[in-house]
Structure 1
C-alpha cells in the first residue's frame, strides 16, 4: 500500500454467516467504487445488500473526511471477520434440546483514491 489516505467503514454484529459474506467480498475487492456498486446491486445474495451499505458508508467517509469524489474511489481491502455466535435451543422429541448457532460477522471495507 501507498501512503495515501484510506477511508474505512465497519459494519459490526451483522446477522449473517462470515463465509456467505466472504464469497461476495471476493468479487468486489480491487474494483472501482462505481463498478462494485453495480456488481452488488445485481447479485442475488442477501449479504450483498449489507455489504453495499458498508461500502456506501466508506465512500461517504472518504468524501466527507478527505474530500475525495466517489467516482475516483477504489476498493483497497475488504474482509468479513467472525463475530459472536448467538446460541439458542430448539425443543426436540422426548424433552431434548437441540442447539442452534446463529452466527454474526463484522464487515470491513477500505477505500482510497485511484492511483492513475
Structure 2
C-alpha cells in the first residue's frame, strides 16, 4: 500500500539541500550565493567562513547539509564535489506598519528568501 516512490529530479552524481524562510531579501542573499557558484565545495566553505555578511553562516550551513547529503545518502566523494547550482527565490513577506504624520501609515516590508544548493561530483580528468 501507499504511493509509489517519486522519481529523482537530480542526476546520480548530484545532491541537494534547501532552506526556506531565510530572513533576508533575495537580492542580498543572491550576492552571497554568487560567491560560491561554480567553486569546489571546500573552497566555497572557506569563502563563506570568512565572509563579513551576516547571512553567510546560514548559507554555509546549507552547503554543509548538501555535502552531508551527497556523502551519506548518495555515496559521493566529498573531495570531488563542486557547487553546481545556488539558486535564490522569494518566499513570504511580512508587512508591518509604522505611524507617520497626520494620521497616515508607512508600510514596512520584511522579506524572506529561499535557497537551493546543488552539489555535483566532478568526473576524473
Selected match of 1:25 from 19, 33, 41: 33
- 2:8 corresponds in structure 1 to none
Matched residues in 2 for 1:107 and 1:115: separation? 26
Q: Distance in 2 between matches of 1:14 and 1:22?
A: 12
Task: Report what 1:63 is aligned to.
Answer: 71
Superposition TM-score, scaled by structure 1 size: 0.91
Superposed CA RMSD in Å reads 1.5
Larger radius of gyration: 2
Query: For residues 1-116 of structure 1, what are the structure 2 equivalents within 5 Å?
Result: 3-116=11-124
- For structure 2, the 5+ residue unaligned runs are 1-10
Where in structure 1 do 4 or more consecutive aligned residues deviate above 3 Å?
none
Of Structure 1 and Structure 2, which has the larger fraction of its residues in helix? 1
Number of residue equivalences = 115
Q: Unaligned stretches of 5+ in structure 1?
A: none
Distance 2:42 2:116 in 1: 18
